[in-house]
Amino acid sequence: MAAYNSVCRSGKLSLGCFLLFILFASFVLLRTVQNDVMDMYDCAVERGAATAAAASAERPAYAAKVASSDKSQYDGIPNDGVLQSSLGLTGTKNPLAGFGGFFDVAQLNIQNVHHDPPFFMTSTTPQGTIQSDYSGESHLFRLMTRVIQMALKLNPAEGPQVLDAGANQGWYSLTAGVSGARYVYSFEPQPHLQKIMRMSARLNLVDDRIFIYPNAVLDTRIKARVKMSGDGGIAHIVGKRDFEVESVRLDEIKRHLPSQPIAYLKVDIEGFEVAGIRSAAGLFEKSLVRNVVVEWGPPARWAQFKSSDVPAALSLLNDMHLRYGFELAVLPSAGFASLVEQKVGEVRNLGPVSQMIAIGVASYEALMTSLDTVGELYLWFYQPSDQLNIMLLEELENLPATYDATGRPQVD
């Protein structure tokens, strides 16, 4: 019996070792396939970017159309799959696309985004959803474009500057570039997203004004472990995941900036926004930022990543007003209609951009208390005495528009 038990134990041990070996071999194989896919992806992006640059240099008509703000000028440029083919991208289809997750990052799609001015977007998002992704935040893109255009009107000799913290696939950076920003400083730690941003910049002939920093944005300098997001949607600073990057403070870039203020700072860093805004303190103290738009909350996400909490966030709101002179507004987002019902602030019209809820300092605590129920918000901090913003608000508030329940303008 003892011998039988010994044999059984030996057999179980052997089976366990075999299963562990299979698990290890599967992991190694998966990582190898992922690396092969990423190598293919890198080659496709580099080839596509080079082809796009060559095509734009050799075809003046292409360059003229890309530079034009007239949507009708794009009728002669093939879109979607045909555009990919015309730019030498027919070999970029990922044979593993459709399996989901990481494998899909090697699929490149290009689409003409119907912003004003329009632009080409290279994305890992399926072609059918690129425009819908844009539409969900189109009011934020329109606001940034209006800010840039007003800055150009005030000082055409010195184009405005834009900071994009959490650039992702480059939506805001590209919009800023084609809208006339002179310099766009983009912070994106994920290597595969940096590559498609560079390709999009070349497609739109703005690669000379978009500068990509491969860093996470925090209020302290550390080496952070970052989880890579296959679809480009979310990358969190976590424990031991995927790859390591150095974090930077936004105010560290001021030594690289020309002397004029930053017209627009966008912060969307997946739960670390409080730290990201704190990192720009040196810019705020010198009155170098005119507008800040940030994705805000919900508190559950701050708690999940231990990045902030409601008291720290409320303290930041007070500092932005009392120390740096910003006024606060909420722009259309998931919780906009609920805030309107709760009468947390005053609803004001921004013409064809959107509505906004102006939040006085006495209502900051009520705003923070509501976050648990209203969810994620878009906050706009703006300098009310800045000439750009005075003219911007005056212009927008006098433009007629009708709005839906979410505060977005209705389109006929």
User: What is the residue-level pLDDT of the chain in tens, covering all 412 positions?
Assistant: 555 445 445 555 576 666 776 776 655 555 554 454 444 445 445 544 544 444 444 444 545 555 544 434 333 333 344 444 444 443 344 444 444 444 444 456 667 777 888 777 877 666 667 777 788 899 999 999 999 999 999 998 888 999 999 999 899 999 999 899 999 999 999 887 888 888 888 878 888 899 999 999 999 888 877 766 654 555 566 554 467 888 999 998 877 776 778 999 999 998 899 999 999 999 999 999 999 999 998 888 887 777 788 999 999 999 999 999 999 999 998 889 899 999 999 999 999 999 999 999 999 999 999 988 888 899 999 999 999 999 999 999 999 889 988 888 876 5
Residue 407 lies in a domain: no
Determine the pLDDT at residue 103: 40
Residues 163 and 28 in one domain: no
Residue 404 lies in a domain: no
On whether both 100 and 210 belong to a single domain, the answer is: no
235 within 8 A of 305, measured Cβ to Cβ: no
Exposed, middle or buried by CB within 10 Å (0-12, 13-18, 19+), for 356? buried
CA-based nearest residue to 354, from 407, 291, 292: 407
**DSSP, res 48:** H
At 271, the amino acid letter reads: G
Supply the DSSP symbol for 334.
T
DSSP classification of residue 338: H
* Distance of alpha carbon 252 from alpha carbon 283, whole angstroms: 9
Give the pLDDT score at 152: 95
For residue 103, being part of any structural domain is answered with: yes
Bridge partners of 163, per DSSP, are: 185, 265
Residue 409 lies in a domain: no
Predicted pLDDT at 410: 79
Q: Which of 66, 88, 118 is the last residue of a domain?
A: 118
Residue type, 226: V
| Same domain (yes/no): 293, 379 | yes
Which CA distances in Å does 62 have to 58, 228, 240, 404?
A: 9, 35, 45, 38
187 phi and psi angles, rounded to 5 deg: -115, 115
DSSP, residue by residue, 126-187: -HHHHHHHHHHTHHHHHHHHHHHHHHHHH-TTS--EEEEES-TTSHHHHHHHHHT-SEEEEE
410 inside domain = no
Q: Indicate whether 102 and 219 sit together in one domain.
A: no
Q: CA 162 to CA 340: how far, in whole Å?
A: 30
Work out the angle at residue 247's Cα, subtended by the Cα atoms of residues 246 and 250, and round it to the nearest 5 degrees. 140
327 and 183 in one domain?
Answer: yes
Instruction: Report which secondary-structure segment, H or E, holds 378.
Output: strand 377-382
What tokens were used for 248? 């930077």
Judge if 323 and 293 occupy the same domain.
Answer: yes
Backbone angles phi, psi at 393, to 5 degrees: -65, -40
Domain interval for residue 188 = 137-397
Examine the domain organization and report whether 213 and 263 are in the same domain: yes
Task: Tell me: do 161 and 104 sit in the same domain.
Answer: no
Answer whether 283's CB lies under 8 Å from 320's CB.
Answer: no
Total number of domains in the chain: 2
Please state, in angstroms and rounded to a whole number, the distance separating the CA atoms of residues 272 and 279: 11
Domain-terminating residue out of 118, 153, 175 = 118
131 occurs within a structural domain = no
Residue 116 is predicted with a pLDDT of: 82
Contact 270, 352 (CB under 8 A): no
The answer to whether residue 406 sits within a structural domain is: no
Tell me how far CA of residue 65 lies from CA of 73, 109, 177, 180, 362, in angstroms: 6, 20, 15, 15, 49
Place of tokens 């939040």: 359
Q: 């010195």: which residue's tokens?
A: 158
Report the pLDDT value the prediction gives residue 108, as an integer from 0 to 100. Answer: 61
Same domain as 330, residue 210: yes
Q: How far is 161 from 158, CA to CA, in rounded Å?
A: 9
Give the per-residue pLDDT at 127. 60
Q: How far is it, in rounded angstroms, from Cα 278 to Cα 267? A: 11
The DSSP code for 116 is: S
- Residue 193's CATH number: 3.40.50.150
Report if residue 130 sits inside a domain: no
Residue with tokens 């209705």: 410
| Domain match, 261 and 189 both | yes
Half-sphere exposure of 3 (CA within 13 A, CB side): 0
Note whether 344 and 227 are same-domain residues: yes
pTM confidence score: 0.78
Q: Are 377 and 330 in contact (CB under 8 A)?
A: yes
Residue 74 and residue 220 in one domain: no
Instruction: Say what the pLDDT of residue 27 is.
Output: 55
